[in-house]
């Protein structure tokens, strides 16, 4: 099935460091969602983006809707051990008509205390 490209695939960082990850597509999207998933749980919504260029924050998390509408970015500032998990982007196409979301391949984050 179709999935969006996320990078990096995985990263180990020290506690307190900032983290950046991105999601890219060859198609235009009109909505981007960012999720975090921990083992054995469903994805938890972190941030929703609805307009090209939009920058939205949720605590230490900041996400941006790329101006080309083909990408999105997530930053985590001052990471802490509980940030460990898999982060997924999800995009909804402008022409989908069915409102389904296409998910990225995920970025696995591990924080070293």
Partner 1 sequence: GAGVSQSPRYKVAKRGQDVALRCDPISGHVSLFWYQQALGQGPEFLTYFQNEAQLDKSGLPSDRFFAERPEGSVSTLKIQRTQQEDSAVYLCASSTGTGAYEQYFGPGTRLTVT
Q: Do residues 34 and 74 lie in contact, with contact meaning Cβ atoms separated by under 8 Å?
A: yes
Q: Tell how many helices (H) and how many strands (E) occur in the chain.
A: 0, 11
HSE, CB side, 13 Å, CA atoms: give it for residue 58: 12
Please select the residue that binds partner 1; options are 3, 57, 58, 68, rule is CB under 8 A.
3
The correct pick among 21, 90, 109, 111 for binding partner 1 (CB under 8 A) is 90
3-state DSSP assignment of residue 91: strand
Asked if residues 105 and 7 have their Cβ atoms less than 8 Å apart, the reply is: no
112 binds partner 1 (CB under 8 A): no
Q: Does 62 bind partner 1 (CB under 8 A)?
A: no
Tokens of 33: 């969602």
Encoded one letter per residue, x for contact with partner 1 by CB under 8 A and - for no contact, window 19-58 reads -----------xx-x-x----xxxxxx--x-x--------
Q: Which residues bind partner 1 (CB under 8 A)?
A: 1-4, 30-31, 33, 35, 40-45, 48, 50, 88, 90, 92, 98-106
């Amino acid at each position: 099935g179709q999935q969006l490209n996320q990078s990096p695939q995985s990263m180990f960082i020290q506690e307190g460091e900032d983290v950046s990850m991105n999601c890219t597509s060859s198609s235009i999207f009109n909505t981007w969602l960012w999720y975090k998933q921990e083992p054995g749980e469903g994805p938890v919504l972190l941030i929703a983006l609805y307009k090209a260029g939009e920058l939205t924050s949720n605590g230490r998390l900041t996400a941006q809707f790329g101006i080309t509408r083909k990408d999105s970015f997530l930053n985590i500032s001052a990471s802490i051990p509980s940030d460990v998990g898999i982060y997924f982007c999800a995009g909804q196409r402008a022409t989908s008509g069915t409102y389904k979301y296409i998910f990225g391949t995920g970025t696995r984050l591990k924080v070293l205390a």
